[in-house]
Amino acid sequence: MNLFEHLKAQCRDDWNAYIQHAFVRQLGDGSLPRACFQHYLKQDYLFLLQFSRAWGLAIFKSEDLESMRYAQAGLNAMLDTEIGLHVAYCREWGIGEAELQALPEAAATVAYTRYVLDAGFAGDLLDLHVALAPCILGYAEIAQWLAAQPATVRAGNPYNAWIEMYLSAEYQQAAQTERALLERLGQELPAERQAALAKRFRTATRMEVSFWQMGLDLAD
């Protein structure tokens, strides 16, 4: 079993709670309240800012040119493209850039993003990517899961553009590239190291569950 599958297997219940969360299900069938999705979008903007810092940290933590270039590409994509696309998408949902910039971080946003950064500061590059994996690889899996569900509505669903974004060949390929790096960094690990990484992965997955729940509850 490769590292990513091993990590998921060690926290199967938490992983399923994340992939199949009520927020995700309601997004898929179009029943998610508009205000919940807007709240999620706002906090996801703040998440992306911290995510960019994590990619910057990945450059620092890299010990070979290939990993450094990969992290640099990730950082450039976030700052030059992804955040701009998110701002434009938020605008479609009635959320202006000035509002995004003035937002306070919800507790779930702070907890998750700082946990990822702490994983990178305290550990090595593999620790950081294991903490990032539930987000990068999880969203790709969520899109695939939604596409396979009979209850998922595509035509007329106001959230279909979100599903399409993560189901796109571009995003799915980006997830596969991240997974390949994770496997390269995680070759031939001793059992103790695998156990520590599984704990880190489970915590990050639980943070993702909390992030969905925040959107559902409109909690700050």
* Residues that are catalytic: 135, 208
CA nearest neighbour of 146 among 23, 11, 15, 53: 23
Whose tokens are 């009635």? That residue is 94
CA distances from 153 to 27, 92, 169 (A): 9, 20, 20
156: left (phi over 0), alpha (psi -120 to 50) or beta: left
**Residues 220, 104: contact at Cβ < 8 Å?**
yes
Residue type (1 letter), 204: A
| First-last CA distance in the chain | 39
Q: Which two tokens stand for residue 93?
A: 């949902």
Q: Tokens 């933590």 appear where?
A: 61
What one-letter code names the amino acid at 155? A
